[in-house]
Amino acid sequence: MAILGSTGSIGCNTLDVVSRCPEISVFALSAHTNVELLAKQCAQFKPRFAVVTNPAFHDRFKALLKEADSDTVLLDTKNSLEEIASHELVDTVMAAIVGAAGLPSGLAAANAGKRLLLANKESLIMSGQLFTSAARDHGAEIIPIDSEHNAIFQCLAEARDVDSGRTNTQFVKKIILTASGGPFLTATQDELASVTPDQACAHPKWSMGRKISVDSATLMNKGLELIEACFLFDLPSSAIEVLVHPQSIVHSMVYYQDGSVLAQMANPDMRVPIAYGLAFPKRMESGAEALDLTQQEPLQFQHPDLLRFPCLALGRAAMEAGGTGPAVLNAANEVAVEAFLQEKVQFLDIPRIIDGVLSKIPCEAASSLAIIREADKLARIAAKELI
Ligand code: NAD
Ligand code: MG
């Protein structure tokens, strides 16, 4: 397999699961800047290739490989990520880069017909239909790693046609995406106004990279996930509801026509969906602690407060606008979150910036990658102007 973004939170969890399964061999790893960790991973997993996407770190990485007398080869061209994602010796690609930067390599894996373990939700949100048709046309199998979508994928097992891999949602009434509610679930509007990046990144249930942690705190993560679910399962946004479930034990649910509700439960640990994706259609050890329901606090579910967390409504609106709407939303969000992490704007400015960008950039049909890239670029410029 190839792991794109192996030094991140998902990347490290993936290697932890892989280390439990001697049949999986690691062909390539990638990192952007953390070459110290990448070199350690190369020493342990002995991949044939490694990619460092930020060229400023190439020399340091080469020195580290030499020091360790490693046989891993650094691939250092602009297309190296796409090369490993589509390499003929690779069966499975873990797409675990954060943000729009993950799009070209994820798409390369889809075009090469790989099993694609998709953590990088932003690529699917930007290019929804193009991405899923590329996978369909080239026989790639997308297994969602985002815990909610992985839960839905599991709950839709009987609705999936084994030969085509397509899901028949004819008997599905609705899908419930669960949301932990993030660190500010009970915060007042006044308290939200002055929260710091470190407070926003201190998620009560999940340990994740900083960008997705802020997305969870604003509930934009759920707005993005709603769009992700529409594209993955070919459902209209009206079929997807969000419920806040602070215990993060039920990862999502599928309501069927006959009144049956299937839910997937597990302790909040990303190694569960990662192991599912690696072993599918079998199962394997993930290292996650077993769920003990007798020791579990009561499970609660409540409707989200869209007034305090407007990002969720912005996500739904962008999906309903269609075309390049989700790509514009995603780009504006990436820029706004980065500005918040650098303390250039306040927490409550994030939805204001995204709303401003959405009303400024007209939606177009997302019929080519060039159109999507242009929408992404214009949205980033507009967001920076607002900041
Ligand atoms: P992270 O910040 O911990 O790691 C990001 C990885 O991407 C690192 O390996 C980094 O080297 C690489 N990277 C960063 N910028 C890059 C660039 N410009 N070009 C190439 N590589 C780059 O992020 P994460 O929390 O592991 O999240 C990764 C993806 O998985 C995101 O899309 C996120 O939404 C999704 N996801 C994460 C979790 C989680 O629990 N962490 C859960 C669900 C979905
Ligand atoms: Mg999720």
Two structure tokens written together for 338: 């980065």
- Pocket perturbation via mutation, ligand 1, pick of 75, 118, 207, 208 by most ligand atoms within 8 A of CB: 208
Could you tell me the domains of the chain? 2-144 (3.40.50.720), 146-307 (no CATH)
Cβ 341 under 6 angstroms from ligand 1: no
Rounded to the nearest whole angstrom, what is the distance from the C-alpha of residue 287 to the centroid of ligand 1?
21
140 Rama class: left (phi>0) / alpha (psi -120 to 50) / beta: beta
Question: How far is CA 352 from each of CA 136, 218, 269, 357, 386, rounded to the nearest angstrom?
Answer: 37, 12, 32, 9, 9
Rounded to the nearest whole angstrom, what is the distance from the C-alpha of residue 121 to the centroid of ligand 2?
9
Cβ 11 under 6 angstroms from ligand 1: yes
Query: Which ligand neighbours the alpha carbon of 251 most closely?
Result: 2
Question: Global pTM?
Answer: 0.97
Name residues whose C-beta falls within 8 Å of residue 22's C-beta, 6 or more positions apart in sequence. Answer: none
Q: How far apart are CA 109 and CA 117, in angstroms?
A: 10
pLDDT along the chain (387 residues), means of 10: 98 98 97 98 98 98 97 97 98 97 97 98 96 96 98 92 77 96 96 97 92 97 98 96 98 96 97 98 97 96 97 98 98 98 98 98 95 98 98
pLDDT value at residue 352:
98
Query: Going by CA atoms, what residue is nearest to atom 43 of ligand 1?
Result: 146
Cβ 32 under 6 angstroms from ligand 1: yes
Rounded to the nearest whole angstrom, what is the distance from the C-alpha of residue 285 to the centroid of ligand 1?
23
With the CA atoms of 294, 296, 302 and 305 taken in that order, what torsion angle do they form, in degrees rounded to the nearest 10?
180
Instruction: Answer for the pair 350, 340: CB distance below 8 angstroms, yes or no.
Output: yes
Could you please report the per-residue DSSP string of 227-253?
HHHHHHHT--GGGEEEEE-TT--EEEE
Cβ 206 under 6 angstroms from ligand 1: yes
Give the residues across from 256 on adjacent strands: 172
Rounded to the nearest whole angstrom, what is the distance from the C-alpha of residue 97 to the centroid of ligand 1?
4
pLDDT value at residue 166:
76
Task: Choose among 2, 62, 4: nearest CA to 32.
Answer: 4
Two structure tokens written together for 16: 């932890």
Query: Which ligand neighbours the alpha carbon of 81 most closely?
Result: 1
Cα angle 217, 192, 379 (rounded to 5 degrees) comes to 60
Q: How far apart are CA 384 and CA 375, in angstroms?
A: 14
The pLDDT tens digits for 250-271 are 999 999 999 999 999 999 999 9
